[in-house]
Amino acid sequence: AQEIGGSDKEVVREYFNNTGFERWKKIYGDSTEDVNKVQLDIRLGHSKTVEKAILMLKDGGTLSGVTVCDAGCGTGSLAIPLAREGAVVSASDISAAMVAEARRQAEEALAGGEGITMPEFQVRDLEGLEGKYDTVVCLDVLIHYPLEKAEKMIAHLASLAEKRLLVSFAPKTLYYNLLKRLGELFPGPSKATRAYLHAESEVERALENVGWRVRRRDFINTQFYFSKLMEAVPVVAAADG
Ligand code: SAM
């Protein structure tokens, strides 16, 4: 694996083990206590991304027995419903706090469920991941990295995936760039980390460079949340239909 490292990663790790952990655990949770309007809006947007990702994945047939790598799993918002669908999930995150929370939520939500394989959780940054999976998913992680690092991450994730790769990211458009500069997006403590928008064409090119092509795409937005979701497949498999 190529080293992505550098200060961005350390800042991100530190953030998601501390302030970021508290903030995002709340946003991704379901309590309405101590959650402001912006956070509720982001919760809604993010839940739509998770829902759409699951729909894309289920469109390929049953998920029973399908191996899925959830890279940058956060509190398990995707890993848990995927396990419920019968997928064999390996979920990982750079933040130990996130992984502990995801494991706790998975145990609470899934224990004893029939036909359910408990997701395997590990603390690991995504460029350190190894092995092969039918599907690799990476939702809302690339926003923390500049283009050059994001490209390397995409290439590494693609190398782990045998059949498909789902990534979501905040798209760079004139409009969102302007909003971001005005500081209307990412309000509050999330400003502790930089947010990077990525042009759809650049993410697509990063995929093409490693022999993948985008098969489907979707765009999810609410007032304060926006995310482009792409499903990519290897070019060879795509030619087979
Ligand atoms: N994917 C999850 C979801 O959609 O619910 C969480 C999204 S959250 C905005 C971003 C997550 O990416 C955080 O949990 C953070 O710790 C993790 N992360 C950031 N950089 C990472 C890296 N290099 N490797 C693995 N995880 C990373």
User: 176 CA to middle of ligand 1, Å?
Assistant: 21
- Ligand 1 neighbours by CB, cut-off 6 Å: 9, 12, 16, 24, 28, 71-74, 77-78, 93-95, 98, 125-126, 139-141, 144
Residue 1 above 60 pLDDT?
Answer: no
Whole-structure pTM value: 0.93
Read off the pLDDT of residues 141-184 as tens digits, 9 standing for 90 and up: 999 999 999 999 999 999 999 999 999 999 998 777 777 776 65
Q: Give me the half-sphere count of Cα atoms (radius 13 Å) on the Cβ side of residue 56.
A: 26
Which of 81, 83, 75 has its CA nearest to residue 120?
83
Pocket test for ligand 1, best of 44, 94, 186, 226 (most atoms within 8 A of CB): 94
- Of ligand 1's atoms, which has the minimum distance to the CA of residue 77? 5
Amino acid, single-letter form, for residue 144? H
Delineate the domains of the chain, giving CATH numbers in brackets: 7-239 (3.40.50.150)
Read off the pLDDT of residues 31-52 as tens digits, 9 standing for 90 and up: 999 999 999 999 999 999 999 9
- Of ligand 1's atoms, which has the minimum distance to the CA of residue 46? 4
- Of ligand 1's atoms, which has the minimum distance to the CA of residue 16? 16
Read off the pLDDT of residues 59-83 as tens digits, 9 standing for 90 and up: 989 999 999 999 999 999 999 999 9
Q: Which residue has the tokens 């494991």?
A: 103
- DSSP code for 203: H
Which of 63, 239, 205 has its CA nearest to residue 137?
63
| Residue 93 near residue 127, CB atoms below 8 Å | no
Structure confidence at residue 240 as a pLDDT band (50, 70, 90) = low
